[in-house]
Structure 1
Amino acid sequence: MAQVIGGDFRGVCAFKANTYWMGGPQGKHFLGIDFGPEPRASYLPTNIVRVKELGVRSITNPGEAGAAALGGAMAFGLVGAVAGAVTGGRSRAETYGLEFDDGKKAVVREDNVGWTNFLCFKRYVEEQGLLDFDF
C-alpha cells in the first residue's frame, strides 16, 4: 500500500488491479484506487484527471544490506559478501500527485515500485496520456 502524504486524503491508498493474467503488467488491468481510513474513497481509472511524478528517491536499508552481504558470503565467499553489501537493501520510492474528476487531490508515495498493481497503474497513466501535466 502507498502512503498518502498530502492532499485531501490521509492514511494509505491501494492501487487495484486484476492480477490474474499473462503477458506482464498492462494498463487495461488497472481497476482503480482506494483511499482510507478517513475519508474513505474509491476511484475508478476513468476518474483520474491528472498525474504528476513528483520525485523518485533511492532508499537504503542497512539491515537488508547486512543480510544480503551475509547471504552473498555464504554462497560466494568474500566477493559475494561485497556484492551483497553493495546491492542489497536498496529500493526506490516514487511520489505522485493525483487529481480526480471531483476536484480532490492526493500526493502518494509508493515504496514498493515493483508491485504488480502499481505497475498497472503506471502503465494506465502512460497509455491514457495523463502523466507530466502541470500539477
Structure 2
Amino acid sequence: MNKTEKIKTTVYLSEDAASQVDAILSLTKRLDKREKSIAIEEAIGFYYSYLSGQINMDYLCGIYGRQVEAIVQRATDRISSQLFKQAVETNMLTRIVAFEYELSKDEYDKMRSKAVAAVKRSTGRISLFDTMQDSEE
C-alpha cells in the first residue's frame, strides 16, 4: 500500500482523547485544523514504534542478562578453581614447614590459632612486620 492510499475508518474517541488531538494540532504548525486524521495516524505510528521497541528491549535485556550471568559464572568458576589450587599449595607448604621444624600437634595448633587471630585483626591487610611481631609473642 502506498502512502497516498487511505482507508476510511470510523474511530470513536473519548472527549479527553479528542481534546488531546486538538491540542496536538494546535501545537503542530505544519498540520492545519482539518487534518486530524494525519495527527491520529502519526500518533498510531509513534505508539506502534514504542510498543515494538519495548518488545525488542525486553528480548534484548533477556539475552544480555543471560550473557552477563554466563560471564559471571565463568569468572566464579575460575576464581574457585584458583582458590582451590592455592589452598592445596598452602597446605603442602604448611605440612613441609611443620615436618621440617618438627612441630608437635599442640605447637601447630597454637601457631594456627595465632595466625587466625592475626588475620582477623588485620582486616585483610597483612604486613611482614606485623607477622614478625606476632611470632615473637
Whichever structure has more strand as a proportion of its residues is: 1
Which TM-score band applies after superposition, normalised by the shorter structure? Answer: under 0.3
TM-score (norm 2): 0.19
Whichever structure has more helix as a proportion of its residues is: 2
- The structure showing larger relative contact order (alpha-carbon pairs under 8 Å, at least 6 residues apart) is 1
TM-score (norm 1): 0.20
> Which protein is bigger by CA-based radius of gyration?
2
